[in-house]
């Protein structure tokens, strides 16, 4: 039976400030992308899910059971990669994974078997003996991904896993995440749309602590049709319009300048775009005044 994680009216207040505002969502196996700008509440949501933070209100149910009642059992089912986590620079990748396995309570034989398998999975088998201090950013992130997978967690929560990576390393890590998501619930939080557009089964849009939508990428893209447009004109015309739509993207082509705008309604003179994608969805719902 597929695993299911249900979040019901989850709220987190800091005094009079609401960091997360009554979020309700159901997560199932596969990759769910969590999109939001910095400060949207992504990290707060993940810390509540992993029981690293006390919630103000709401419930989190795993296969129908409140996770607070599950206690250590729930924590054993989670793999969590927080943003900007430090690593032991003088340890090898293998030594680091052995250490993390001991913290998770794995027996020596389990630690050895899982470490070998996971190093192969994230393509670090040949570098297993090298010190982490010599690793590139992408290799470090793959070590963290392997560490999160120790103990065979059923829920994997990744906070900005591709931060600081070059394009090639970002693609490689995304592919690893897609491979491991087939039999797990994976929540991938990011503000980089390209991280999820090729791997996510569904996408959550979070803004100012509120969940604006949770739909398939196809439905979100369909919802933006007619609200993304191109304005073609001279440099001065473009500059004037950009003052009204500062998030608009300026491009040049053979005809001159063009400004890509996300707005509802589109301004007069804008030609509706046909090539709408998740980047446009992000711009429309999360960077504009849409609510």
**What does residue 128 show for φ and ψ, rounded to 5 degrees?**
-60, -30
Average of per-residue pLDDT across 175-197: 88
Q: 193 near 278, Cβ under 8 Å? A: yes
Per the prediction, the chain carries an average pLDDT of 90
Find the range with the poorest average confidence among 39-48, 244-253, 271-280. Answer: 244-253
Residues 6+ apart with CB under 8 A from 223: 213, 215, 281
How far is C-alpha 250 from the chain's CA centre? Answer: 27
Structure tokens at 240: 């004037």
Helix ranges (DSSP H) in 6-92:
42-49, 67-70, 72-76
The number of beta carbons lying within 10 Å of the beta carbon of residue 229 is 21
Residues 6+ apart with CB under 8 A from 253: none
Look at the block and give the residue holding tokens 């980047």. 279
* pLDDT at residue 60 is higher than 80: yes
pLDDT digits 0-9 by tens, 127-149: 999 999 999 888 888 898 899 99
pLDDT digits 0-9 by tens, 193-251: 988 888 899 999 999 999 999 999 999 999 999 999 999 988 888 888 888 888 888 88
179 confidence band (pLDDT: 50, 70, 90): confident
Q: 146 near 87, Cβ under 8 Å? A: no
Structure tokens at 193: 């749309």
Per-residue model confidence (pLDDT) at position 1: 67
3-class SS at 178?
Answer: helix
Per-residue model confidence (pLDDT) at position 291: 43
Please tell me the distance from the alpha carbon of residue 90 to that of residue 111, in angstroms, as a whole number.
20
Domain map of the chain by residue range?
Answer: 4-220, 226-275
Please tell me the distance from the alpha carbon of residue 236 to that of residue 263, in angstroms, as a whole number.
21
Look at the block and give the residue holding tokens 């793999």. 79
b/e burial code for range 178-187 (CB count within 10 A of at least 16 → b): bebbeebbbb
Superfamily (CATH H level) for 4-220: P-loop containing nucleotide triphosphate hydrolases (3.40.50.300)
Q: 146 near 118, Cβ under 8 Å? A: yes
Strands (E), 76-143: 78-81
């Amino acid at each position: 039976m597929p695993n299911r994680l249900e979040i019901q009216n989850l709220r987190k207040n800091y005094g009079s400030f609401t960091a997360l505002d009554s979020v309700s969502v159901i997560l199932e196996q596969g990759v769910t992308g969590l999109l939001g700008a910095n400060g949207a509440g992504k990290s707060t949501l993940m810390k509540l899910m992993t029981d690293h933070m006390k919630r103000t209100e709401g419930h989190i149910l795993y296969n129908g059971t409140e996770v607070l009642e599950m206690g250590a059992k729930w924590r054993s089912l989670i793999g969590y990669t927080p943003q900007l986590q430090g690593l032991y620079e003088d340890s090898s990748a293998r030594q680091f994974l052995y250490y993390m396995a001991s913290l998770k309570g794995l027996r020596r034989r389990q630690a050895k078997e899982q470490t070998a398998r996971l190093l192969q999975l994230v393509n670090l088998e040949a570098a297993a003996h090298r010190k982490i201090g010599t690793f590139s950013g992408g290799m470090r992130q793959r070590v963290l991904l392997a560490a999160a997978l120790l103990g065979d967690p059923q829920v994997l929560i990744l906070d900005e896993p591709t931060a600081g990576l070059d394009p090639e390393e970002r693609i490689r890590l995304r592919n690893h995440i897609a491979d491991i998501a087939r039999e797990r619930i994976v929540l991938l939080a990011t503000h980089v749309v390209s991280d999820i557009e090729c791997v996510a089964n569904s996408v959550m849009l979070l803004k100012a602590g509120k969940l604006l939508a949770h739909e398939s990428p196809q439905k979100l893209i369909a919802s933006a049709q007619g609200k993304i447009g191109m304005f073609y004109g001279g440099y001065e015309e473009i500059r004037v319009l950009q003052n009204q739509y500062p998030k608009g993207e300026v491009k040049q082509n053979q005809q001159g300048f063009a400004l890509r705008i996300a707005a509802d309604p589109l301004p007069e003179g804008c030609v509706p775009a046909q090539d709408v994608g998740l980047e446009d969805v992000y711009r429309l719902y999360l960077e504009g005044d849409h609510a």
